[in-house]
């Protein structure tokens, strides 16, 4: 089944200032024709011609030597070489094609989420996204959540199954995009991946088991470049695959990619980056310093835990408003389909509207003693049953929100500044993209900042992948971000637990942190200062 891809951050922010220096380069060469006076080997002749075009050493993998002689002669000594930078100063030959094929130069930016995989076909000439395709991560059939998959990967067979599952998903998307854009999958000569640490491990076939055991040590944070063929990816088998580096087990390459896409690491202003999905990750800082933390967030916001929760698929209630006077509920569903359940953005809307309508109090309790709120009555729903938000749902959600609040406050205090010092707020991820900003602020999930300073990044992980696919400077920035973020391990922090306990109210225990929400509540007589 196909899912809808989400837009890339560059649609919001633009590509200004991005110097194209992609993971691979294509170079057209007119070689001197061999003769009695020039009997260099075919490989040596190619290397001699390439070397002056590149700074550094050129290496030719044995696999390419096999067919090289035929290609050089087929192209009558006019060929196009594709090279990939392995490490600074070293170029690996990726492929050689007869003739001048420099106009066809393709790369892939990939976002591997626990649930969804999105692939962007990129024209390496101008950085344009030629096409997007998305699908559920094939690993989902082995387990919806990360822990189940980590458990399964404890056996070599399980690990192999999970590795193959995600690669199969990717290959399906690659095939689809290639066909749509009339290219051969083998013409894709570079891949960049944004994914969390567990997803990177499973993608590379590495055992992720220590990621969830103290002291949470992954096999690798920065795997460098891996040839696509070693992973089974259906692109050029020598295409370099670059995974955005992780900071640790819980702050992955997806987040580093998002920070990179936001540009906050280059700004003098204090920024806050939040990605709430299956996990919640927060990064705060500016061009001088960065701090970050992460924790499990998702269950309360996704299908499975919420009584009538479902994924953001057609039929999911994705926006809710409640008339405070009449109590009447208005909602929309994805695709306009008959309502079958409620997704994250619908839930957040509903909670905010219930608070503002006085249906629940600031502690999240139903005021009239009811146990649930009917969003869609049975007669209108696709399931034939009421679609409801329960007291349990609300309390689950408040724990998630409390964790986000606590983490954020911990970060703020750790660097000796205040919430009010934050000048920019970036919401990343699919959830951040579809969530309604006002509702998220009303219930305290997002901070209460001037709205023009609050920016939705869309698929920031995919955009980060696109940036490192296209730019060596961006790869260096990503590695510098990963190296320089000070990571706070929340699970080990007593301060976090204290703050968590203190975050029991909507939008917050301390309403002064949320001045616009305070004002709204006061206006409606729901709070007296």
Segment interacting with a copy of itself, rule: CB under 8 A, options 208-216, 286-294, 333-341, 519-527: 208-216
> Whole-number minimum distance, CB 345 to a copy of itself, in Å?
33
- The shares of helix, strand and coil residues in the chain, as percent rounded to the nearest 5, are 40, 25, 35
- Give the integer Cα–Cα distance in Å for 124 and 188: 10
Residue 36 lies near a copy of itself (rule: CB under 8 A): yes
Residue 68 lies near a copy of itself (rule: CB under 8 A): yes
State which residue, 200 or 306, has the beta carbon closest to a copy of itself: 200
Residue choice 4, 13, 34, 267 for contact with a copy of itself (CB under 8 A): 34
Angle among Cα 512, 514, 516 to the nearest 5 degrees reads: 110
State which residue, 11 or 230, has the beta carbon closest to a copy of itself: 230
H-helix or E-strand containing 69?
A: helix 62-74
State which residue, 115 or 246, has the beta carbon closest to a copy of itself: 246
Residue partners of 130: CB distance under 8 A and separation at least 6: 106, 121, 122, 123, 177, 181
Segment interacting with a copy of itself, rule: CB under 8 A, options 38-46, 77-85, 290-298, 507-515: 38-46
Residues 352-381 binding a copy of itself (CB under 8 A) are none
State which residue, 89 or 335, has the beta carbon closest to a copy of itself: 89
Contact 448, 211 (CB under 8 A): no
431 CB-side CA count, 13 A: 27
- Give the integer Cα–Cα distance in Å for 270 and 104: 41
Residue choice 75, 205, 315, 339 for contact with a copy of itself (CB under 8 A): 205
DSSP type of residue 423: -
Residue 498 lies near a copy of itself (rule: CB under 8 A): no
Instruction: Tell me the per-residue interface mask from 321 to 340 with a copy of itself, x by CB under 8 A, - otherwise.
Output: --------------------
Residue choice 17, 35, 268, 384 for contact with a copy of itself (CB under 8 A): 35
- Give the integer Cα–Cα distance in Å for 365 and 518: 18
**CB contact burial 422-460 (16+ within 10 A = b; e otherwise):** bbbbbbbbbbbbbbbebbbbbbbbbbbbeeeebbbbbbb
**Which region holds residue 236: left if phi is over 0, alpha if psi is between -120 and 50, else beta?**
beta
- Give the integer Cα–Cα distance in Å for 420 and 422: 5
> Whole-number minimum distance, CB 347 to a copy of itself, in Å?
33
Strands (E), 31-128: 57-59, 78-87, 90-98, 106-112, 116-123
Segment interacting with a copy of itself, rule: CB under 8 A, options 66-74, 168-176, 261-269, 407-415: 66-74
- Give the integer Cα–Cα distance in Å for 98 and 79: 4
Of residues 235, 306, 258, 250, the one with CA closest to residue 111: 258
Segment interacting with a copy of itself, rule: CB under 8 A, options 209-217, 322-330, 386-394, 452-460: 209-217
Beta bridge partners of 322: 329
DSSP output for 123-190: ETTT--EEEEEEEE-GGGGG-SSHHHHHHHTTSHHHHHHHHHHHHHHHHHHHHHHHHHTT--GGGEEE
State which residue, 69 or 510, has the beta carbon closest to a copy of itself: 69
Residue 60 lies near a copy of itself (rule: CB under 8 A): yes
Residue choice 11, 154, 157, 224 for contact with a copy of itself (CB under 8 A): 224
Instruction: Tell me the per-residue interface mask from 230 to 259 with a copy of itself, x by CB under 8 A, - otherwise.
Output: x---------------x-xx----------
State which residue, 89 or 314, has the beta carbon closest to a copy of itself: 89
- Give the integer Cα–Cα distance in Å for 123 and 470: 9
> Whole-number minimum distance, CB 473 to a copy of itself, in Å?
18
Residue 195 lies near a copy of itself (rule: CB under 8 A): no
Angle 344-356/391-414 helices, nearest 10 degrees?
90
Number of residues that bind a copy of itself (CB under 8 A): 48
> Whole-number minimum distance, CB 169 to a copy of itself, in Å?
20
Instruction: Tell me the per-residue interface mask from 459 to 488 with a copy of itself, x by CB under 8 A, - otherwise.
Output: ----------------------------x-
Segment interacting with a copy of itself, rule: CB under 8 A, options 135-143, 211-219, 254-262, 290-298: 211-219
Residue 39 lies near a copy of itself (rule: CB under 8 A): yes
Contact 322, 328 (CB under 8 A): yes
State which residue, 205 or 257, has the beta carbon closest to a copy of itself: 205
Residue choice 53, 207, 372, 438 for contact with a copy of itself (CB under 8 A): 207
State which residue, 73 or 524, has the beta carbon closest to a copy of itself: 73
Phi, psi of 490, deg, nearest 5: -65, -40
> Whole-number minimum distance, CB 88 to a copy of itself, in Å?
7
Contact 274, 280 (CB under 8 A): yes
What Cα–Cα distance (Å) separates residue 363 from each residue in 160, 164, 178, 489, 497?
47, 46, 52, 28, 19
Instruction: Tell me the per-residue interface mask from 70 to 99 with a copy of itself, x by CB under 8 A, - otherwise.
Output: ----------------xxxxx---------
Residue 204 lies near a copy of itself (rule: CB under 8 A): yes
Binding stretches for a copy of itself (CB under 8 A):
34-36, 39-44, 57, 59-60, 62-63, 65-66, 68-69, 86-90, 204-207, 210, 214-226, 230, 246, 248-249, 487, 489, 492
């Amino acid at each position: 089944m196909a899912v809808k891809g989400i837009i890339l951050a560059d649609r919001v922010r633009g590509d200004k200032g991005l110097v194209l220096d992609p993971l691979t380069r294509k170079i057209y060469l007119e070689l001197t024709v061999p003769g009695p006076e020039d009997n260099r080997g075919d490989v040596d002749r190619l290397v001699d011609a390439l070397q002056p075009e590149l700074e550094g050493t050129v290496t030719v993998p044995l696999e390419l030597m096999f067919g090289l002689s035929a290609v050089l002669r087929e192209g009558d000594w006019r060929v196009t070489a594709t090279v990939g930078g392995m490490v600074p100063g070293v170029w690996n030959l990726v492929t050689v094609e007869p003739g001048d094929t420099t106009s066809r130069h393709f790369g892939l930016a990939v976002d591997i989420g626990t649930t969804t995989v999105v692939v962007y076909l990129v024209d390496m000439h101008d950085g344009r996204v030629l096409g997007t395709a998305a699908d559920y991560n094939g690993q989902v059939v082995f387990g919806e959540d990360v822990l189940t998959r980590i458990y399964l990967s404890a056996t070599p067979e399980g690990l192999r199954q999970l590795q193959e599952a995600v690669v199969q998903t990717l290959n399906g998307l690659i095939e689809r995009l290639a066909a749509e854009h009339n290219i051969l999958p083998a013409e894709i000569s570079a891949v960049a991946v944004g994914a969390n640490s567990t997803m990177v491990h499973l993608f590379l076939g590495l055992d992720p088991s220590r990621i969830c055991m103290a002291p949470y040590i992954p096999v690798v944070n920065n795997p460098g470049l891996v040839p696509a063929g070693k992973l089974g990816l259906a692109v050029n088998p020598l295409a370099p695959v670059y995974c955005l580096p992780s900071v640790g087990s819980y702050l992955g390459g997806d987040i580093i990619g998002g920070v990179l896409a936001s540009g906050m690491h280059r700004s003098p202003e204090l920024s806050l980056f939040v990605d709430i999905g299956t996990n919640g990750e927060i990064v705060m800082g500016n061009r001088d310093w960065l701090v970050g933390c992460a924790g499990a967030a998702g269950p309360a916001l996704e299908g499975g835990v919420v009584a009538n929760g479902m994924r953001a698929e057609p039929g999911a209630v994705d926006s809710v408003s409640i008339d405070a006077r009449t109590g009447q509920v208005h909602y929309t569903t994805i695709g306009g389909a008959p309502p079958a359940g409620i997704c994250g953005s619908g839930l957040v809307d509903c909670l905010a509207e219930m608070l503002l309508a006085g249906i629940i109090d600031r502690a999240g309790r139903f005021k009239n003693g009811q146990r649930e709120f009917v969003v869609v009555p049975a007669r209108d729903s696709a399931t034939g049953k009421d679609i409801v938000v329960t007291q349990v749902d609300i309390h689950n959600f408040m724990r998630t929100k409390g964790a986000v609040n606590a983490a954020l406050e911990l970060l703020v205090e750790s660097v000796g500044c205040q919430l009010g010092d934050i000048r920019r707020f970036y919401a990343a991820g699919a959830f951040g993209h579809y969530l309604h900003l006002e509702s998220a602020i009303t219930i305290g999930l997002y901070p209460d900042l001037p709205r023009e300073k609050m920016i939705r990044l869309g698929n920031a992980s995919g955009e980060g992948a696109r940036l490192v696919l296209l730019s060596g400077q961006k790869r260096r920035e990503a590695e510098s971000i990963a190296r320089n973020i000070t990571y706070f391990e929340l699970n080990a922090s007593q301060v976090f637990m204290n703050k968590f306990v203190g975050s029991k109210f909507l939008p917050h225990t301390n309403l002064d942190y949320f001045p616009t929400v305070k004002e709204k509540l006061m206006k409606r007589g729901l709070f007296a200062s």
